[in-house]
Each structure stands twice: as C-alpha cells, then as structure tokens.
Structure 1
Amino acid sequence: MASEEDREMATLMLAALKGDETAYAAFLRRAADLTRRAVARRMGAAYSTGVEDVVQETLLAVHLKRHTWRVDEPILPWLTSIARYKAIDAFRRRGVRVELPIEDFADVLPGPETAGDMEESQHIEQAVGSLSDGQQRVVRSIAIEGRSIKETAAALKMQETAVRVAFHRGLSIIAQRFGRQA
C-alpha cells in the first residue's frame, strides 16, 4: 500500500509525463529534498561534501529514465533505488566499500516475485548461461552481483584488463544472441 507521500509524488510525475512542467518542477524539488535527506543520513559526515553531487546525479538519472517508472507501481521505491545506486557509485569512485543493512530498505524492497519477474530472471539466466564459463563468472560478478571491475579481478584472480575484455565480449555475445532483431 502506497503512502500519502508516494501518492502525491506519483500524481506529480503522472502530470509531468503528460507535459505539465509545473508538476515536474514540483516533483523534482520534492525528489531532491527526499534524496538529500536520505543520502545525508546514509553518507554521514565522512562524505558531506558529496551529498549534493549524489542528489544532482539522482535527479539527472530520474530525468533521463522517467519513462521507465511503471505508473501502476509506487514511485518512492523507484526513486530510492536510483538514489541508492548513485550513492554507491559515489562511494566506489572514492574507493570506499559500501555495505548497507538490508533492514534499511525493507520498506522499499519488492514483495514476492511475480510471474513476470520469474520469467525475466529465467531470460537473464538463459542469456548468461549461454556464455563460456569465464565470461559467465565475469558477467555474473559485475552485472548481477554488482561488483566493480577491480573486485571482480581480485575475486577471479584475473587482470583488470582481462575482466573488462571478458565483460565486454560477454555482453556483446548476449546482445547478438538475445538482442532485438532489426
């Protein structure tokens, strides 16, 4: 069940998607405020100067990916996920390993998988499973588990350059085999 704040934000975004610039500006202001508070709370004093960078990156991502929000689903988990990934990216750029307690995201994590989610997982597994063993390990590590190139190289005892090549080749193979046909 969506909160009142979620319903209000969703209403603003729906109007924005229909071309209402005033609603979009209001949505972005509220999204910036929510993101700023959440990121400041997560990052703490150690990264206080980077909070605004994360807020701006989040708003840019929201703007570029606003068409990906599923209008029949709550908007705050979508927004929170974008902000979370942007905060993690900011930490990674600074060489800080990020470990966030799962309990902090319990209210925005999806419920049990739907049939569509399971079907998507099967397609992903089929695509990754079509790769060679080495490419599978690299693609799983980076694309599915969210590890960095450096972390993957260390875990798989490979050179970072080799990891990049294997990742790129693996994604290229998946795109060729499972991508859209022109």
Structure 2
Amino acid sequence: MAPFERNGRKAGLNAGDEDDLARLMRAALTGDERAYGEFLQRAACLVRGLARRKIVGGGMDPEDIVQETLLAVHLKRHTWQEDAPVTPWLYAIARYKLVDAFRRRGRRLEIDVDDIVETAAAPQTETVRNWEIDRALETLAPGQRSVVAAVSVDGRSIRETARNLGMSETAVRVALHRGLAAIARRFGRN
C-alpha cells in the first residue's frame, strides 16, 4: 500500500512525503512515465481522503471526485511550479472539483479560508484550452470518449452516465479509468 494510505485511511503527510511527491512530479514532467504513474497513485490516495472527509451524507461518490481531479491534474500539470510544494496545488484542484460537484447537485460546500490561502495567493497561470481537452478525447475509442467526456468534462455522475449510455455503473467506471489511463500514457510526456 502507498505510504499515503494505511488501512484505507490517509496517513499524515510529512515533509519527506511532500518532497517525494514533488520529486515524482518533476520526473513526470520530464517524461518519466513510471514516476508519473506513481505520482498519480499517491495523488489519488490524498484526494480520496479529502473527498471522503468532505462528502458527508452520501449522494456523491468520492471516486468521481478522484477521477475528475486526476484528469484535471493531467491536463493542468504544466501549471505546477517546480519550486513550489505540490500538495497545495493538488488540493486546490481537488477542492475546485468538489465545489463543482456540489454545485451541480445544488448543494453548498463551505471551505475554511486556511485551506485555500496558499493557492488563492498564488499567481494564476494559463488555463486548459478546449482544444487540449478535445485533443486528449480524440485519442480514445468512441466508448471511452463518451464516458470520459460525460464524467470528466460535462460533470455528470457515474450513475447518470451509466443510465444515459445504457451501461452498468461498473462498466462506466472501468471505461473512465481506462480512458484516463490512456490519456495519461499518451500525454504523459511534455
């Protein structure tokens, strides 16, 4: 099990973990696919813990937030500044995905200012362009493209996507995971 998750629960993040995560991201940005895969696995553990803590009372699946965040991380990886800590950047993306998910469902999420002070003060960099998303989606098989576009771009839930596409929720999760993995393999190098 990754050092960021023990017995299904998030372990404390110490300075060594932050440094290791930043090292993996730097290596990923230079084209190291193994490092990128490990970074994404560890990032998923951190985001999963955050999503589970923030989603109280059900109605949303934390895995939806994890997948949406990982896609956004992939598409926005060029915005991370290599001399900055990686976890505030990662958590900022995850928080935006959580807020978007609550907004889509008509719920309100209150975030403590202390949680976002580091990222709110950071200068904003270039955002993902629609053509970058289209380019990533074009590389997928039609079924995967439909699922990834519905869940990660349009913001639909796994359940809604399954219903709209006539698939089981498990099949949607598998197609989403495989589609995101294909995008990560294809565009993992700069």
Task: Give the TM-score normalised by the residue count of structure 1.
Answer: 0.56
2:96 matches 1:85: yes
For residues 18 and 120 of structure 2, the distance between their equivalents in structure 1, rounded to whole angstroms, comes to: 20
Q: Which has the larger radius of gyration?
A: 1
**Aligned in 2, Cα 1:57/1:111: closer, same or farther, shift over 3 Å?**
closer
Aligned equivalent of 2:117 = 109
For residues 27 and 42 of structure 1, the distance between their equivalents in structure 2, rounded to whole angstroms, comes to: 22
2:46 matches 1:34: yes
Matches within 5 A, 1:57-68: 57-68=68-79
Aligned to 1:3, which of 2, 15, 18?
A: 15
**Aligned in 2, Cα 1:97/1:112: closer, same or farther, shift over 3 Å?**
closer
Matches within 5 A, 1:11-22: 11-22=23-34
Matches within 5 A, 1:14-163: 14-47=26-59, 49-103=60-114, 105=115, 109-110=117-118
**Aligned in 2, Cα 1:38/1:113: closer, same or farther, shift over 3 Å?**
closer
Matched residue type, 2:117: L
CA contact under 8 A between 2:47 and 2:91: conserved in structure 1?
yes
Aligned length: 111
For residues 35 and 112 of structure 1, the distance between their equivalents in structure 2, rounded to whole angstroms, comes to: 19
Name the structure with the higher helix share. 1
Higher RCO, 1 or 2 (CA under 8 Å, sep at least 6)? 2
For residues 56 and 77 of structure 2, the distance between their equivalents in structure 1, rounded to whole angstroms, comes to: 28
RMSD: 2.3
- Listed one character per residue, the Cα deviations across residues 13-58 of structure 1 (whole Å, up to 9, x for unaligned) are 01111111000000000000100011100112324x4211110000
Structure 1 runs of 4+ aligned residues shifted over 4 Å read 111-114
Matched residue type, 2:79: T
Matched residue type, 1:91: F
CA contact under 8 A between 1:77 and 1:109: conserved in structure 2?
no
5+ residue gaps in structure 1? 121-182
CA contact under 8 A between 1:6 and 1:75: conserved in structure 2?
yes
Identical counterparts, % of pairs: 50
Matched residue type, 1:11: R
